[in-house]
Chain A
Amino acid sequence: MTVAVEELTVRYGRRVVLNGLDLALDTGVHGLLGPNGAGKTTLMRVLATVAPPNGGGVRLLGSAITGEKELRAVRRQLGYLPQTFGFYPRFTVREFVEYFAWLKEMPAARIPVAVDRALERVGLLDRADDRMKTLSGGMQRRAGIAQAIVNDPRLLLLDEPTAGLDPEQRVAFRSLLRELGVDACVLVSTHLVEDVAVACERVSLVDGGRLVFSGTPAQLAAAGGDGDAGDSAIERGYTAVLRAARA
């Protein structure tokens, strides 16, 4: 398993954000759904090694992170795009992605090619020499995706990656996700259930800090009925699972 999480607990003060969550993910594209405050971003931060868990076990890329050596080994093979991210306004897009390639300790000889490839995959190669501050919000988001994939990560964590992308860019991004999911474990946190339906092989639904559903998008769609709220089968499945979990 690329990601194996058992009984994961995270607290912020007295508030329990993740409450004994279990999750197992392997190669492929996985959707992470849940309402606001369900714990999706916290889970992403734990898997990205930003936030330490308060309890439970986390194994990433086959190893438990028990020390600095394991942590650095995992981080070399990790790609992470937070929900919002800061960037260096005076950097060009190429410099921004290149800087993260350096930080990810990629071999120097590979970096120029890897940067161009990442920019091409997100459709920003023609804007590579523009400054980050001159880009639109959607383009900055795509530059963020480029820094996440520049090292060809084995574990890619994308928190709301399609926020700010126009419909055409979202279609292109779904295609990129499918491409990335061939070799890597890709976890995409999103509110857009149609993205999950189209691009993800499996979907996990989190509510109240617990995993309440894990299966294929078709299984999630099948969980809903005509009486459930939603404009599509998968939306009806989503609301039905949440209703059942809260009952």
Chain B
Amino acid sequence: MTARALRLHLRARGVPRFGAGLILVTVFAGVAAQWLATRPFFDGPGARVPVVALAPLLAALLLAGTLAGADESLERVTPVRWRLVRAAHVGAATVLVALLLAATGLHDPAVYGSYALVRNTLGCTGLVAGAAVLIGARLAWLPAFAYVVTVYGASPARDGGWENLWAWPLQPSTAGWSWAPALAACAAGAVLYVRWGARG
């Protein structure tokens, strides 16, 4: 594939828009996390929970728009090895989002910092990728959005028992079991997406 073809493909997937949105989310996450953590009336780094929950969600919502072309059936009758393309797409996007967001929480990575941002990025991108297969890329943002907003609204205990599993987006990264559902969502979503692609 030449540079020209790659550029056309990235534009066909809306990657420039995704990139611009991701930069905004990253800057917002960095500024907001710093501001929250340094307010005297909050409890230090623990105040970054909203950023840890919402920044990966916003990035994943932006990613949803890139998971399909304008006409999936038209593209799929071409001889391209689409599974490889999809694997590269979802893999590269997840790594990029995780690295950028992790950079915003590096000064205190363990307490609602980089580690939790990486975990939530994995979970949210997995949810979005899986949803794209089941309901199409256009609405793929909806299940992840509904889930994270519902969990956030429920205000579960932090570092608790079952809450580690179902409220993983709000748990500190030290809550070991909170990684399990995020990693499972990431693996399942990626496998589904690579195997079948977004629903046309």
A contact set with B: CB distance below 8 Å: 45, 48-50, 71-73, 75-76, 78, 80, 82, 85-91, 95, 98-100, 102-105, 108, 147
Sorted nearest first, the 8 A-B pairs with minimum C-beta distance are A86-B71, A86-B70, A103-B78, A72-B79, A75-B79, A102-B5, A99-B8, A85-B71
CA distance A99 to B2 in the complex (A): 12
CB pairs A–B below 8 angstroms (10 shown): A48-B73, A75-B79, A82-B73, A85-B71, A91-B12, A98-B8, A100-B74, A102-B9, A103-B79, A108-B2
Query: Does B79 contact A76, Cβ atoms closer than 8 Å?
Result: yes
Q: From known contacts A82-B71, A87-B71, infer whether A50 and B76 are also in contact, taking CB-CB under 8 Å.
A: yes
Query: Does B77 contact A50, Cβ atoms closer than 8 Å?
Result: yes
CB distance from B138 to the nearest CB of A (A): 11
Contact mask for chain B residues 143-175; partner A; CB cutoff 8 A; 1 contact, 0 none = 000000000000000000000000000000000
Q: How large is the interface on B (under 10, 10 to 19, 20 to 34, 35 or more residues)?
A: 10 to 19
| B39 is an interface residue with CB less than 8 A from chain A | no
CA distance A50 to B11 in the complex (A): 24
CB distance from B75 to the nearest CB of A (A): 6
CB distance from A160 to the nearest CB of B (A): 14
Q: Please pick, from B1, B69, B76, the residue contacting A102 in the complex, using a CB distance under 8 A.
A: B1
Chain B contacts of A75 at CB under 8 A?
A: 77-79
| B80 is an interface residue with CB less than 8 A from chain A | yes
Chain B contacts of A100 at CB under 8 A?
A: 74, 78
Question: Which residues of B57-77 have CB atoms within 8 Å of chain A's CB atoms?
Answer: 69-71, 73-77
Among B1, B5, B74, the most chain A Cβ lie within 10 Å of the Cβ of B74
Chain A contacts of B11 at CB under 8 A?
A: 88, 90-91, 95
Query: Does B12 contact A99, Cβ atoms closer than 8 Å?
Result: yes
Chain A contacts of B76 at CB under 8 A?
A: 50
Query: Does B77 contact A88, Cβ atoms closer than 8 Å?
Result: no
Query: Does A102 contact B74, Cβ atoms closer than 8 Å?
Result: no
CA distance A98 to B2 in the complex (A): 12
Q: From known contacts A99-B8, A103-B80, infer whether A45 and B73 are also in contact, taking CB-CB under 8 Å.
A: yes
